[in-house]
């Protein structure tokens, strides 16, 4: 399989998970799938393959003491760029999963944070953090539900 094909398959692979979180968040199948780590195993495997096969002695030396110019040269290579992209896919989905699961537990609204996370993971996470703070400040019932979840987690 070519690097471009791997890149395309990885992009398509994450879409069903995002779709479930967006369109069917309360569905039991969505909840079971997103509680599992299994969606991350194939993606992490692809990342590992791409990472290992994209490392050359020069790249390894440059990455051991990273400088911006060296990183830019590294990502100029198509395989290295695909490796970085799959890294984004894995981490953005993982953060999206966290946002989804937290929203399911606490009742905090998450659709906007998930949308941001799909396109820019850290912005989605930041959005979720702010939304959680604002929701807890404005809605005492959500605050109480979040406290109950935290209490159950600690006592488990």
Residue 59, pLDDT score: 81
Residue 148, pLDDT score: 62
Question: Sign of the C-alpha dihedral, residues 93, 94, 95, 96?
Answer: positive
**pTM value > 0.75:** yes
Rounded Cα distance between 55 and 97, Å, is 30
The contacts of residue 128 (CB under 8 Å, 6+ apart) are 99, 102, 103, 108, 110, 113, 117
Residue 63, pLDDT score: 81
69-78, pLDDT tens digit by residue? 988 888 888 9
SS (H, E, C) the chain: CCHHHHHHHHHHHHHHHHHHHHHCCCCHHHHHHHHCCCCHHHHHHHHHHHHHHHCCHHHHHHHHCCCHHHHHHHHCCHHHHHHHHHHHHHHHHHHHHHHHHHHHHHCCCCHHHHHHHHHCHHHHHHHHHHHHHHHHHHCHHHHHHHHHHHHHHHHC
Domain count, the chain: 1
Domain housing 60: 3-155
Rounded Cα distance between 111 and 100, Å, is 8
Confidence of residue 152 (pLDDT cuts 50, 70, 90): low
Residue 61, pLDDT score: 81
Confidence of residue 151 (pLDDT cuts 50, 70, 90): low
Residue 156 has pLDDT above 80, yes or no: no
């Amino acid at each position: 399989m070519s690097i471009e094909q791997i890149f395309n398959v990885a992009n398509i692979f994450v879409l069903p998970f995002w779709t479930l979180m967006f369109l069917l968040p309360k569905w039991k199948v969505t909840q079971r799938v997103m509680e599992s780590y299994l969606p991350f195993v194939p993606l992490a495997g692809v990342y590992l393959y791409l990472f290992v096969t994209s490392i050359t002695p020069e790249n390894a030396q440059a990455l051991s003491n990273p400088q911006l110019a060296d990183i830019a040269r590294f990502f100029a290579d198509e395989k290295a760029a695909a490796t970085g992209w799959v890294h984004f896919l894995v981490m953005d989905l993982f953060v999206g999963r966290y946002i989804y699961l937290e929203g399911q537990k606490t009742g905090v609204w998450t659709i906007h944070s998930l949308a941001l996370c799909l396109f820019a993971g850290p912005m989605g996470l930041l959005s979720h953090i702010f939304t959680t703070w604002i929701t807890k400040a404005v809605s005492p019932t959500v605050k109480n539900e979040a406290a109950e979840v935290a209490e159950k987690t600690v006592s488990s």
